[in-house]
Amino acid sequence: MSVTETQGRASETIAVEIMGKKYRIPPGLTMLQAMWHTGHELVRGVGCLGAVCGACPSTYRTKGDTKIKTTLACQTQVEDGMSFSLTASYYPDKKVVYHFDEMKDPKQDLFHYYPEAALCRNCDACTVACPKGIDVRTGVWKAVFGDFKDASDLFLSCVMCSLCVPVCIADIAPNQVGLFARRAQGIFFEEKKPQLSLRVKEIADGKFDTEWERLMTLPDEAIQAESSV
């Protein structure tokens, strides 16, 4: 897309409905910017403003469409005729307390903590709801079938916004299932890292101590001359 194509005329405004109230705003604003522009003070519902923290789940409907869609308000541009609502910054989804150091078989333990995970009825509403474009349904199935590796990959970009939770007809909290699978994968199933373990040991054994003694009192000019970059 050409940079100039999106350049709206300064006087041009678009129609928007924010939580049921009608406003006219300049084009090119995100939903949150539109709320600031129309005088809304925001505390709940704003976070990183970069679509990675999940603080601003929202629902919206575009002109002429009947479907209500979900998104993150910080990175969704308002279109003419859009109606939206900053839904909530807190969904009371079920987060079970667990301790991986007490688990022996996390792939089975998943059913102890999140038994409903096995009840997915394949409706795919979670995938449709996900503002990060994650194939949530497949992620849940992968976790249920013990493929924590694939489940982990699928849930990589999950921001825990919980938009997948209220739409689940089987009462699963897919984001929590994904997080459980990711952490279990990291703790139980990833290969060891020989270089890291070696370096930890070298430091503990004092391998660099002599060099440290020399370095800590070295004048700035001498440090500048140390070979590195």
Partner 1 sequence: MSDIDVSKERVNTSRAARSQQEMPRLSAEEKDDLVHRYHPDYKKEAYATLRFGPNKGEQTVHELARLLEGESPVPADFPALKPAHQVDILIIGGGGAGATAALTAKAAGAKILMATKLRLGDSNTVMAEGGMQVAVSPEDSPIRHFVDSLKGGHMANDRVLLKQLVEEGPSVAQWLIDLGVMFDREDDGNLSLRAGGGSSLPRLLRCKDYTGLELMRVLKDCVLNEEVEVLEFSPVIELLTDGKGSCTGAILKDLDNDRRIVVQAKTVILATGGIGRLHIQGFPTSNHFGATGDGLSITYRAGASLTLQDTFQYHPTGAVFPEAMAGLLVTEAIRSAGAHLLNAKGERFVYELETRDAVASAVIRECLEGRGIQTPAGRYGVWIDMPLVDQINGEGTLEKRFPNMIRQFSRYDIDIRKEPVLVYPTLHYQNGGIQIDAEGESTLKNLFVAGEASGGIHGRNRLMGNSLLDIIVYGKRAGAAASKRAAASDFGPLSLDHLSRFRKERSEAGVNSDVVSPMLFPDYVKKQ
Tell how strand 82-86 and strand 57-61 pair up.
Answer: antiparallel
Which of 98, 118, 150, 166 is in the footprint of partner 1 by CB under 8 A? 98
What minimum distance in Å lies between the beta carbon of 1 and partner 1? 5
**Tokens at 116, concatenated:** 């409903």
Beta carbons within 10 angstroms of residue 34's beta carbon = 23
CB contact set of 146 (below 8 Å; sequence gap of 6+) = 107
Does position 36 interact with partner 1 (CB under 8 A)? The reply is yes
Q: Where in 131-150 is the site for partner 1 (CB under 8 A)?
A: 132-133
How many whole angstroms separate alpha carbon 167 and alpha carbon 127?
10
Q: Are 110 and 148 in contact (CB under 8 A)?
A: no
Does position 41 interact with partner 1 (CB under 8 A)? The reply is yes
Q: Where in 65-84 is the site for partner 1 (CB under 8 A)?
A: 75-77
What minimum distance in Å lies between the beta carbon of 211 and partner 1? 5
Burial class (CB in 10 A: 0-12, 13-18, 19+), 211: exposed
Site string for partner 1, 164-193 (x = CB under 8 A): ---------------x--xxxxxx--xxxx
Which of 14, 16, 18, 55 is in the footprint of partner 1 by CB under 8 A? 55
Does position 11 interact with partner 1 (CB under 8 A)? The reply is no
Which of 64, 66, 205, 216 is in the footprint of partner 1 by CB under 8 A? 216
∠ Cα 81 83 84 (to 5°): 145
Does position 51 interact with partner 1 (CB under 8 A)? The reply is yes
